[in-house]
């Protein structure tokens, strides 16, 4: 039996939701999160190999009780086919970062060098700016960004997490 005062620690959790690919389905999921006061850290959505379904990957901050409620509440939606939390150890997660720098002769080389170390690639180079792309997991992207902070960043854009479970189990 669970203790009633048990307060879990808050952390980021990945929840994957398979939904029917109907108009407005994303709005329904997001509306539910808004209504119940769950905090979305990131959200990605795209159709699956079956065009009638979409796969939503949500990163949400909360303790175990909140995660439990989210899964139950999202399950209640008529268009939800399945909801699964992704354990970190079993999740293969990626997000994409695009970052635009203002550059000069001095910074160009060092940005290039750090990017290489992180496996990031330069996707656009203009006389005064460059854009670097990095696809990785969230913690590596965070680390990359914290190093790059000292350079003259014009804009940052990241996609949010998309994830799959490592073994071959289907989401169904």
Determine, following the binding rule CB under 8 A, whether residue 35 of this chain makes contact with other proteins.
yes
Smaller CB separation from other proteins, 64 or 100: 64
**What's the min distance (Å) between Cβ of 155 and other proteins?**
31
SS3 163: strand
Measured CA to CA in angstroms, residue 160 lies from 25, 38, 45, 73 at distances of 19, 17, 10, 22
**What's the min distance (Å) between Cβ of 25 and other proteins?**
11
Determine, following the binding rule CB under 8 A, whether residue 49 of this chain makes contact with other proteins.
no
Choose which of 50, 65, 88, 142 interacts with other proteins (CB under 8 A): 65
Determine, following the binding rule CB under 8 A, whether residue 76 of this chain makes contact with other proteins.
yes
**What's the min distance (Å) between Cβ of 13 and other proteins?**
17
Smaller CB separation from other proteins, 4 or 150: 4
Please name which of 94, 82, 91, 85 lies closest in space to residue 62, comparing C-alpha atoms. 85
Choose which of 28, 84, 100, 158 interacts with other proteins (CB under 8 A): 28
Q: Which two tokens stand for residue 31?
A: 């509306």
Q: Where are the alpha helices (DSSP H) in the chain?
A: 25-36, 64-76, 105-118, 138-148
Smaller CB separation from other proteins, 22 or 116: 22
Residues in contact with 93: Cβ distance below 8 Å, sequence separation at least 6, in sequence order = 14, 57, 86, 137, 138, 161, 162, 163
The residues of the shown chain that bind other proteins, judged by CB under 8 A, are: 1-6, 23-24, 27-28, 31-32, 35, 65, 68-69, 72-73, 75-79
């Amino acid at each position: 039996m669970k203790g009633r005062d048990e307060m879990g620690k808050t952390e980021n959790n990945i929840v994957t939701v398979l939904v029917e690919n109907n108009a407005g389905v994303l709005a329904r999921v997001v509306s539910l999160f808004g209504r119940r006061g769950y905090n979305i850290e990131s959200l990605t959505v795209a159709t699956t190999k079956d065009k009638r379904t979409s796969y939503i990957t949500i990163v949400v901050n909360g303790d175990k009780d909140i995660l439990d409620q989210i899964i139950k509440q999202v399950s209640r939606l008529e268009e939800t086919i399945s909801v699964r939390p992704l354990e970190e150890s079993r999740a293969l997660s990626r997000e994409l970062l695009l970052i635009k720098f203002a550059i000069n002769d001095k910074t160009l080389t060092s940005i290039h060098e750090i990017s290489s170390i992180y496996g990031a690639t330069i996707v656009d180079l203009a006389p005064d700016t460059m854009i670097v792309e990095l696809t990785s997991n969230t913690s590596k992207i965070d680390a990359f960004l914290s190093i790059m902070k000292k350079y003259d960043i014009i804009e940052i854009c990241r996609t949010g997490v998309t994830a799959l479970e490592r073994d071959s189990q289907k989401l169904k």
